[in-house]
C-alpha cells in the first residue's frame, strides 16, 4: 500500500509503502519503507493503544488510528518529523481503509477505571501470590 506524506513545516512530501503487516491477535507488526525504513508494533493496553519502534528505542500512546492530530503530535515528538508523520499516515491509512479496525487501540478492558485495578487481573493475582510466597 502506497501512502503520500507531507511535512507542512518544511513543505516536503514523500511516499511510503507498507511492505508487511502481520497480526498476532493482540498486536500487529508493520514494516514501512520510504525515505527511512521503519519496523513498528502497535497494540493495546487498559490505558489505550501504543506504538513501539524497538530499533529506535521509542514508543508512544495512541488513540483511534484515524486521529491524525493527536497521534501526529505524539509521534512527531517521540520519533521526529519524518518518522512521526510517516507512522501517523500509515496508521491513518490502515484505519481508514478498514485493514485494522479504527478502534483497535481502544482500551482492551473496555472499562478503563473499573476493571484495571489491582486484584482484577489474573497476572495481578499471580504476582501477589508470588510476593506472598517470598515473604
* Complete DSSP assignment for 9-70: TTTEEEEEEEEEEEE-SSEEEEEEESSS-EEEEEEEETTEEEEEEGGGTEEEEE--TT-HHH
Q: Would you call 135 helix, strand, or coil by DSSP?
A: coil
Give CA angle at 110 (109, 115), nearest 5°: 55
pLDDT in tens, 93-106: 999 998 888 777 66
Q: Are 3 and 93 in contact (CB under 8 A)?
A: yes
pTM, full prediction? 0.76
**How far apart are the C-alpha atoms of 7 and 22, rounded to whole Å?**
28
Report phi then psi at 45, rounded to 5. Answer: -135, -175
pLDDT in tens, 35-82: 989 999 998 887 778 899 988 888 888 888 999 999 999 999 988 999
81 grid coordinates: 518529523
Q: Which of 101, 25, 90 is nearest to 53 (CA)?
A: 90
The domain limits of the chain are 2-134
Q: Which of 20, 16, 19 is nearest to 3 (CA)?
A: 16
* Residue with the larger pLDDT of the pair 111 and 9: 9
Q: Would you call 119 helix, strand, or coil by DSSP?
A: coil
Amino acid at each position: 500500500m502506497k501512502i503520500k506524506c507531507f511535512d507542512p513545516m518544511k513543505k516536503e512530501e514523500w511516499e511510503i509503502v507498507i511492505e508487511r503487516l502481520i497480526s498476532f491477535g493482540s498486536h500487529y507488526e508493520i514494516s514501512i519503507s520510504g525515505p527511512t525504513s521503519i519496523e513498528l508494533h502497535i497494540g493495546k493496553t487498559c490505558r489505550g493503544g501504543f506504538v513501539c519502534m524497538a530499533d529506535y528505542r521509542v514508543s508512544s500512546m495512541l488513540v483511534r488510528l484515524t486521529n491524525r492530530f493527536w497521534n501526529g503530535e505524539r509521534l512527531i515528538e517521540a520519533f521526529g518529523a519524518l518518522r512521526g508523520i510517516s507512522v501517523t499516515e500509515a496508521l491513518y491509512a490502515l484505519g481508514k481503509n478498514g485493514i485494522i479496525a479504527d478502534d483497535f487501540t481502544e482500551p482492551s478492558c473496555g472499562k478503563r477505571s473499573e476493571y484495571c485495578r489491582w486484584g482484577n487481573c489474573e497476572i495481578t493475582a499471580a504476582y501477589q501470590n508470588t510476593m506472598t510466597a517470598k515473604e
